[in-house]
Chain A
Amino acid sequence: QIQLVQSGPEVKKPGASVKVSCKTSGYNFTYYGVSWVRQAPGQGPEWMAWISTYHGHSNYAPKFADRITVTTDSATSTVSLELRDLISGDTAVYYCAREDNWLDPWGQGTLVTVSS
């Protein structure tokens, strides 16, 4: 079956960077892009970025464009998100999701906690 399995929880200090990985399986990796979405406690989802797993082209939400990088590794069918210059407001659950216009399925989520 189609699965997106994310890396484990992270605790970071303000100003640090975090990298979250998303390993996919069960489908042809390069046929679908992958989006990253985060959800702060008690809030709705917030889209952050999309990457084409075919040619690596990415599209970032303007809010994150200056401190986010999304990469793809076809050899391991893995997409990664790096977020830099973390602040307390970045504390959230980060999800990857396969995108075929709509987002399905989603990874299990990775909790990133930013605290001094």
Chain B
Amino acid sequence: QSVLTQPPSVSGAPGQKVAISCTGSTSNIGAGYDVHWYQQLPGTAPKLLIYANSNRPSGVPDRFSASKSGTSASLAITGLQAEDEADYYCQSIDTTLSGSRVFGGGTKLTVL
């Protein structure tokens, strides 16, 4: 059971938009801690996709965007491409776990 809750899977056709939610609590996201998002392609290490709630590292297409509100965060991907098929994870910090970094359970994105 992950501290941050994500839907196990989402899907969309090429060109469409999908959103992935990340639900936490008042001891993590709701306590003001930043949310970061990672993309993991099969057989590779996770890669930073969004940092500090809504910021894209250089090289990440602007088709990826994210936001945070209250105890939740959301990642949006527009103009879906086949190469976006991957696992996506949100991450924050939790005060009840001695400042542990915590991850969501992950969402598998399938491009139909």
Contacts and interface: CB of A to CB of B under 8 A. Distances in A.
Interface of A: 35, 37, 44-47, 50, 59-62, 95, 101-109
Contacts of A105: 47-48
The 4 closest A-B pairs by CB, nearest first: A104-B48, A47-B101, A102-B51, A106-B45
B48 A44 contact: no
Contacts of A101: 34, 36, 51-52
Contacts, number: 63
A105 B104 CA distance: 19
Interface stretch (B13-21, B64-72, B73-81, B91-99): B91-99
Nearest to B2: A44
B98 A103 contact: no
20 contacts: A35-B101, A37-B46, A44-B104, A45-B38, A59-B98, A59-B99, A61-B97, A95-B46, A101-B36, A101-B52, A102-B34, A102-B36, A102-B91, A103-B38, A103-B46, A103-B91, A103-B101, A104-B47, A106-B46, A108-B45
B89 A44 contact: yes
Contacts of B101: 35, 37, 47, 50, 103
